[in-house]
Amino acid sequence: MNQAAHNPPLATPPKATPADTLFSQPFNNGLWRKLLQGVCQEVDAQYALGLDVISPFGFELLEDKRYLYKNLKRFYCYVGFPEKANVDKHDIEKAYADALLKTLKQHYPAVFDDIAILITHNNKLHKFRPDNYLCTPADKLIDISAHPVKKDILSHYADYLTASVSTLFNKTGEADVERNSEYVMRVRYYQLYIISETLYSQYLPALSPQEIRLSRSVFASLSNSIQALFTPQSTPPTEEEKYIAKHLIDKRLARMHAFLTAASEKAADIVTIETGCYHTDHHFSFSLNQDIYEDATSKVKSTYLNFS
């Protein structure tokens, strides 16, 4: 894998600096990525697979760096390894989690102390706080998952986002209606809708004034909270959420899916993406017109690389 394509080489973790240098305003995204890459190289010294790592928030596609001034709480680390490698992905996740925690504890003890929950091993929760704990503004979540990839983890992630319109439309994977009582999952659903809208709105009619108002409500409903992981409870969609889903999200996704499916059927060259959801165990495939595919995946990769 060509890790240099999206991660600058770094032999050792960044020089120790105060925690407020990393979690300052704005958040030091470049330093965070270098730290993760240093950890990745440390772990790869054991496996010699050419591991690489990315840490996207999802809002990179919006190209609005004001998001870095927010109180970020959720940090996702996606580690890529060759799909033909004879290795257990869970072993990689554990090794990466152990190395990352060790690095944070040594170089950023204040950041280490703020980690309230760690997610590894196919969404297994490791809580560093008691049950029914009330989270503070400083508490953080780190989610580590390993993915078998053909090229590199950024390309794999770009394929996942590009094809997610299929699962959203079909209400599978992260859009599974049976999981809609889980607010955390619904937030992921809303985020993936916003990403799909960003990638494909150029092919659709412009949003109407009403749809623009509803779209703003979708953004307003997004939560960065991790409290639900300590006090899980069923939170069915509100009447407002149901209205937004019916009059905006479902309608737009149907148009996207219809256009993309028709475009692939007419195209001389198509690309079939076979991938899995990053936050469920659902696997799926989706075919796209090659030009549309290349435009969408290029946008995902370029906005990620430029967002630091």
Q: Give the 3-state secondary structure of residue 235.
A: coil
Distance between CA atoms of 247 and 72, rounded to whole angstroms?
30
At residue 7, the pLDDT reads: 39
φ and ψ of 23, to 5 deg:
-100, 50
At residue 169, the pLDDT reads: 95
What sign does the dihedral 306-53-101-141 (CA atoms) show? positive
User: What is the tens place of the pLDDT at every residue in 220-229?
Assistant: 988 888 998 8
Distance between CA atoms of 7 and 35, rounded to whole angstroms?
11
Q: Give the 3-state secondary structure of residue 27.
A: coil
β partners of residue 119: 125, 143
Per-residue tokens: 238: 């509100």
At residue 122, the pLDDT reads: 65
Q: Which residues contact 289 (CB under 8 A, 6 or more apart)?
A: 260, 263, 264, 266, 267, 269, 270
At residue 249, the pLDDT reads: 96
User: What is the tens place of the pLDDT at every residue in 239-261?
Assistant: 999 999 999 999 999 999 999 99
Per-residue buried b or exposed e for 132-146, using 16+ beta carbons within 10 Å of the residue's own CB: ebebeeebbbbbbbb
β partners of residue 53: 79
Domain boundaries, the chain: 7-149, 157-306
At residue 45, the pLDDT reads: 97
Give Rg (Cα) of the chain. Answer: 19
Give the residue ranges of the chain where pLDDT is below 70: 1-20, 122-123, 177-181
